[in-house]
Each structure stands twice: as structure tokens, then as C-alpha cells.
Structure 1
Amino acid sequence: MNTPPSLSGVERTDGSSVQIGALVPLTRPGWVEAGRHLLAGLELAVRDVNDTGGIAGRPLELVVRDTAADPQRAAAAVDELARLGVAALAGEYHSVVARAAATRADALGLPFLCSSAVLDALTEQPTDWVARLAPAQSHGWRIYADFLLGAGHRRIAVAAEPSVYWASGARVLRDHLASRGGTVVELDMRALAPAAVCDELVGNRATALLLLVGHPEPAVSIVKSVRRDQRLAEVMIGAPAGQPEFAEWARSLGDDGAAIPFLRYLPERLGPLGARVETALRERLAEAPSFVAFEGYDTVAVLADVLRSHGADRARIAEAWPHVVVAGTRGRIRFSRVPGIGVRQWAWPPIQVVDRDPAEPDRFRVLHAG
């Protein structure tokens, strides 16, 4: 472990709170709704930790910084939080932003437990400083590809915007489907208007269209265009990145937003802890909690367990990742080394392919489990 001597081993000894830095997208162009759910989970877990004695009698405290989906802003926040003396970092939803934060945390020797970002290459080189709860994109999106094949889809179109995250997802889908007789046609949304996507789908005889684009736009406009084109009545629309999970999706699209399968990282049934947390999150959010809120809760649950057993010294926290065994809201959490993944990884949280029920859009249907 390459520990910079100027920033290693920061531990408060004045009896004040133990602080965790929280990176969360709270303003545009970040996905604000995802950030709100992530923060709700983080905050609820902090409350529960403090209600049960805190960290060796000291309160746990979040120091929240808004990343606004900006990698440079996130890296600057990591620098600031390191100077403030936080014991560890938590959070982040956007993969490209999480990668910038993880790279900086690794350079500074600051433990970072990433809650919700899935990009495989969270760091360029293997590191002991970073661990992750969310499944790697290559794992989850292969499960989504298996769902497509099982549903009879062999000719898949992806409407994609330029992004490391979208390009990585498209590559996972293409490689996995090609080895099983499927094909993927990429539609460059820099060159196509949403209405033009319909002609491309017809011309390529695609039976499924996957949205690898931002929300609300152009995702909402693409969905509306496809739904209104009678030539495409049998075409399935999918959103593996999980846009339909959030209430904003249903508000934007109404009935058009149903029957669009996406990846969700929840078990089919929650255990007692998960059910209790779900009730508390629903009260806090005034709506059904997304899987992102559970990821936030589990992040603090893991860090609190490590802080209680290993103290707030940064190097000791990072050294503790391989020894974590924590009962989270979605299962027992352990970290391991996964081939091709440079960070300590929970392998794996539960993964479902779900959609909103057309007959009852506020209800989710489980279509496939990985």
C-alpha cells in the first residue's frame, strides 16, 4: 500500500465526531433524484449508528459534498475532505465521477467505499484503498444480455451518447451477445434526432432498443417517438442503467414508461433489516426507495463496522476490506478480488431485471434474476 506520509493515518483524538466524507450528485447536470436517494440512505444509516452508541461512544457524522456529475469537482472535493480529516469517503452514483474520486482517493491514501457506480475500471491500477458495493458493469450487463436472449431478442439496437460508461456498456452487450448469436447495432445520438431512431430500427429489423443515453433527455423523447410509431409496436425498449427505477421517469412518461426492463440491485424479498430500512426510507423520502437508497445505507453500515473494529486510522480501514463481514439490507457483504476489477468488490449483490407493470406503473415486475 503506497501511503503518502503527509495524509496517512488521520485520526481525531479530541473526542469529537468521527467523520465520513459523502460524495453525492445533488444538482444538475447530476442525476439529482438518484443523489437524493443515495443521501437518504447514507443519512438514515448514520442516524441508526448513532442511536446504537456511535463509534466507540463518538458520534458518526457525514460531511457532504455535491459532485453535480462533474469529475473535476469530485476530485477537488476529495482533496478538501482529505484536508478536513475525514476517516473515509462514501457514496457517488455516476461512474465517471466515481472513477475520478477513486483515482484521487488512491493517490491520497484515503479509503473510499463506492456505493453505486458500476464502471469496471474504477481505477487504472489495482488499489487497496477503494472498495465497491455495486456490481461491476461487466457482471450486471451480461445478466441483462442473458435476459434479452431468453426473451428471444437477437437483433439489438442501442441508442448511445458519447461516454466512457455508455461505451463500456455497449461493449459488454456486444461481446456477450455476439458469442451467442446476437448482434448489436449502435445508433449515434449525436447524429440522430429521436424521431430518426424509428427509421433506423425499422431498417435494421431490430426487435429491441436499449437506451444508453441521459435522462430526461434524450431518453424521454426517444421513448415517446418509438411508442407512437405503429411500425415498432413489437419492439421492446430497455434501459439497463436503471432510469425507470425512479419516480421522475414515471412522471415524465406516464404509461409510456412502463414495460421498459432495467437492472435493479435488490433481492426478490428483503429480510428483516431490509424491510425495516425500507419503511424508514419510504418515510424519509415520501416515496418508495430505490435500490440506490439501500446502497447508501449499506455503505455506512460497512464503514461503521470497520470503524468500530479497526478505528479511524485510514491505513487500518483500507487494510480491513478483506475482513469485512456485514449483514447489509440486501445480503451479507464481503469484499474480494475479482479478476479484471482493480478495487475490492462485493461479488455480488443481488441483481434483477425488472420493469414497471403496464397495468399498475407504480408496481415493479421481476422478469429475470441473476
Structure 2
Amino acid sequence: MSSPARTDVAVTGLGLVTPAGIGVAANWERISSGRSTASPDDNLTGLGVDFSCRVPGFDAGALLGRRNAWRLDRVAHLAIVAAREAVADAGLDPATWDGARVGVVVGSSFGGSATYEREQARLAEDGPDMISPLLMVMAPVNMTAGYLAIDQHALGPNLVVSTACAAGTSAIGTARHLLAAGMCDVVIAGGSESTITRTTMASLHRMGALSTRRDSPETASRPFDADRDGFVAGEGAGMLILERAADAQARQARVYAHVSGYGASADGHHPSSPHPEGDGAERAIRAALADAGVEPGDIGHVNAHGTATAMNDVTEARVIRRVLGDHPAVTSTKGVIGHLIGAAGAVEAAYTVLAVHHGSIPPTANLSSLDPEIELDVVAKDARPATLRAALSNSFGFGGQNAAVVVTAP
């Protein structure tokens, strides 16, 4: 296996705020245990689906200061906490770095949707004079990256990519291109999403995307299981510190893994259903492999998109088998944390990095009876030790937007 040094990007820091916990250590322990985080959600009482996967014990006031927390939507709260952990983990200091050489790329699908929904209700109930003047700096999708720049003194390229459920992976790929082009030396890249609102959840339920196991939320998310019936919505943020591998080596940074390849595509088929043959997904995966300079046989692990919806899981499984064969050990961490929408790809890429780093593949939660149409080696029950040279993380979103990254051992 070979990988062009000029395109290898080092992951030197990680930050995670998810339903599996606050911090990388808590996340890895929970993901490796295969224990679901889904539970009843009081904010969804009365809806057809009244459970979700939320970040436990997240006190934005304590973590960010009460005034800062009050002025930001939860999507920014989650992103900032994750980014602070990632930067510290990388051994970097915003007080001393050259901010003009630090970029930010965040994946998000909805932005500050909870704030927008709250203010819309206020407009309807109390009239226009009661709308918050902060709405326009809290709700827009670009503001999460903007607030990260303010918090971290990151003054280089600053943008949000919004490719639905592929957004977090698209952000990592975009960051990789910025580094390869020499536009910055460090990029805070990842995703953040907090859109478990009544309107969003009601719509997802109406379109049949969500599991309806209200009597057993903890077993509701069942990727690849024959009895799956939809995904469980989650929230969270995942941030990676990316640097050119040579730069990381020069400063003697600890390197978790390399992001060695990125591929993206569009199905051009349907607004919400995947291409029946997985055409776009296959092109994204093959592009990522080619970009990384690896062969299909080099991939030892796939962190699948694995939503636990009927069509996605079978289509993705067929693509994985067609491109990679049946040898990679496949998992979907959505069985534990649910579907984090725009943040999903970033968090799952971070889990893939940790799998390579620790030599361990997390299990797919709630998988008791593998769908016979899914002819893959899906890890279940317990984490599996493995020495991984290369791994793949897939993300596919509404609009037929697909992205994949190849992670390799440093």
C-alpha cells in the first residue's frame, strides 16, 4: 500500500461532544461498549416519535460562561466545546499561533434551527416587536464556523459546508484540500448539529425516516438488523485538528492517524432515497481509495453510514461488498449515538481514527439478526481487536450527496 506524502494529512487532535459523552475518552468507552444512548425526550412529548439521543449533562453556561451561552444557539455550544478539546489535544495554543494560517471548516445541515423555531413561535404569539435582534447571528448555518473563529482566534479560511448527512465528511475533505493548496497550516474541521426540535422530528416521522419503537428507545436504532425500522435522531459535534503530515512531524506532534483520501459525488436520482444501485456512493468510495493510493484489499474496517433505514443499509452493504469484497470488518456507530445529521460524518470519522489508533473496532449496537441481504462481516456484541493499516468512513445525505474518507495508520 502506498500513499502520496504530499496529500497525507495528519490528525493531531480530536474533540467530541455526543450522546456518548463529553470528551474523547467518554465517547470511546461508550462506543466500544455498544450500549445505546437513546431515551425518552421530554421536549418531544406528544409527538409520534418522542425519544432521541441527546448529549448527557451538557451545561453550556458552566462550559462557556453564562453570557456566551445565552448569545449562542446550542449548535455553536457543542461545536465550541468540541473544538476547544481538539485544539488542546493537539498541543496547540490559540494565544500563540498565527491565526491567519488557521482555517475552520464545519459541516452542518440545519444551523441554529432551535433558535429559529423559538423565534418563529414568538412572532406568532407576541408579534414582531418581541423577536430577538440576535436571531440573525444565532440561526444562520454559517455562524457556527464564525463563532469558532472568534473563540479560537482562527483567522484563515472560514466556511460551513452543508451537504445534509454527509456534511461532516465533506468538511474534512474540504479542509484537506485547503491544506494541500497551502492556504493554511492548521484546520479545525468537523461538524455540529442540534436539530432535535418538534418541527424537525414531526417532519422526519411523517416521511417515515424515524424508528417508532417508543416502548423500547434503547433498542430502536438497529443498523443492518433484519428488524430495523428507521433511525434515531441525535445531536452532537466532532472536531479534528488537521495538519500537513510533514508539519506535524516537524513540530513532533502526536499523530493519531492520517486522512489520506477523500471522495465525493452526487446521485442525481432522488431527494431522499439513495440510488437503487448505489451508483453515487460507489463513485465516492472509489474516488477516496484512488486519492489515498490504496487498494480495496487494504481497507480493513468500514465505519458505515448505516442509518438503520430499510433502503440505506441494503444499498450501502451492496456497494461495500462490490467495491471492497466481504473482508472488511464493518460497523455502524449510529446504533449507540443515533444519527447526528450534519455532524454524523465528522464524529464517525473521529471514531474511525480512534479505531485505527487503538487497534479496536467498535460493535454495532442492537444487531441481533443480520439482514440476509447484507452479506458483510458486521461487528456486533463486542469490540473486535484489529491491526488496521487503512479504514474507510462513509456518509450519504438527502439530495443524493455522498462523501467518503480513507484513514490510514501514520
TM-score, length-scaled by structure 1: 0.28
- Asked which structure has the greater CA Rg, the reply is 1
Select the structure with the greater relative contact order (CA < 8 A; seq sep ≥ 6).
2
TM-score, length-scaled by structure 2: 0.26
